[in-house]
Amino acid sequence: MNRLLVSIALTIILLATEVLAQTPPGGPSAGQAPQPPSSYYPAPPPLQAPTVEQGVPTTGLSSPLPAARKVERTEIGAETEAQLFIDARKIVWGRYAKLKGAKPGGVTVTRQGNLWTIKGRIDSVAPGTEGDWASIDGVVERISAGVVQIRGEVAFRVAKVEKGTPCKVVGTLTFRRAGKSQVWRLAEGDNPCDGTREAFDLVYEKPIEKKPVPTQPKRG
């Protein structure tokens, strides 16, 4: 019993000593109110955690060009340009054009009455780029001097971009040619996925003229 009383007395003495040590001489300074206790430090927690935006799906990637509209007739503003463009036969893809072993792709311009259409594709065959390709599919809206406008899409498939998902430029596409050049280059040729200037070209190829074989005289 005596030991218990001694233990309680020592505890009371220790508590009193701590209180005296924490209290400044003379008590709180005049005019200074004690700081009210706060249950939150430094600020109360938010009502809900910040929301995290989901990534945009990579399917059907397109540039922000106007929605497609139907083209029923190709407007010919320059007959000379039209005669050149009907013989566009090749596609050259600038991303891989300078690599050893690169080859051009093929494109076909077709006249269907008053409407011209175009379709083509280039498959990269340079070492290390196999499986990458670019394509064009659309109708020709207008042909003027040095300019061909096509309504459709150009797609670029590059393995290291968007994990190989084709990235598309869609809408009114403008191909320009300068001077005596035989190449029409896509003005909207920036890849919408990584910003690379693709340098997508349609190339005129002069048709081979077949000379008539002279008739051999009959031998008697």
HSE-up (13 A, CA, CB side) for residue 90? 13
114, part of any domain: yes
Instruction: Please determine, for residue 90, whether its predicted confidence score (pLDDT) is greater than 70.
Output: yes
Which pLDDT band holds residue 40 (cuts at 50, 70, 90)? low
CB-neighbour burial class of residue 63 (10 A; exposed 0-12, middle 13-18, buried 19+): middle
Q: Which pLDDT score is estimated for 33? A: 61
Q: For the segment 165-199, what is each residue's pLDDT rounded down to a tens digit? A: 999 999 999 999 999 999 999 999 899 999 999 99
Report the candidate in 75, 127, 133, 78 with the shortest Cα–Cα distance to residue 104.
133
User: With bands split at pLDDT 50, 70 and 90, how would you rate the model's confidence at 65?
Assistant: very low
Position with higher pLDDT, 181 vs 218: 181
Q: 14 pLDDT band (50/70/90 cuts)? A: low
Is 48's pLDDT higher than 80? no
Confidence (pLDDT) at 214: 73
β 200-204/88-93 pair status: antiparallel
% of the chain surpassing 90 pLDDT: 58
Average pLDDT, the chain: 81
Number of domains composing the chain? 1
What percentage of the chain has pLDDT greater than the value 70?
65
User: Residue 41 pLDDT more than 80?
Assistant: no
Residue 102 belongs to a domain: yes
Residue 192 lies inside a defined structural domain of this protein: yes
Q: What confidence score (pLDDT) does residue 198 get? A: 94
Higher pLDDT pick, 11 / 206: 206
Nearest to 202 by CA among 112, 124, 134: 134
Is 146 a domain residue? yes
183-186 and 167-176 beta bridge pairing: antiparallel
Question: Could you tell me the two tokens for 55?
Answer: 């990534």
For tokens 């065959």, name the residue.
125
Whether residue 130 lies inside any domain: the answer is: yes
**The tokens 């780029």 sit on which residue?**
129
Distance of alpha carbon 209 from alpha carbon 61, whole angstroms: 42
Tokens of 111: 């006249």
pLDDT at 70: 79
- Identify whether 152 is part of a domain: yes
Identify whether 5 is part of a domain.
no
- Is the predicted pLDDT of residue 58 greater than 90, yes or no? no
Task: Print the domain residue range for 191.
Answer: 74-204
Over residues 54-66, the mean pLDDT reads 52
Distances (CA, A) of 66 to 40, 71, 72, 210: 53, 14, 18, 44
For the cut 50, the answer to whether the pLDDT of residue 157 exceeds it is yes
Average pLDDT over residues 93-120: 95
Q: Tell me if 73 sits within 8 A of 114, measured CB to CB.
A: yes
- Which of 64-73, 126-135, 181-190 is predicted least confidently? 64-73
Token pair belonging to 10: 């020592």
Residue 105 is assigned to a structural domain of this protein: yes
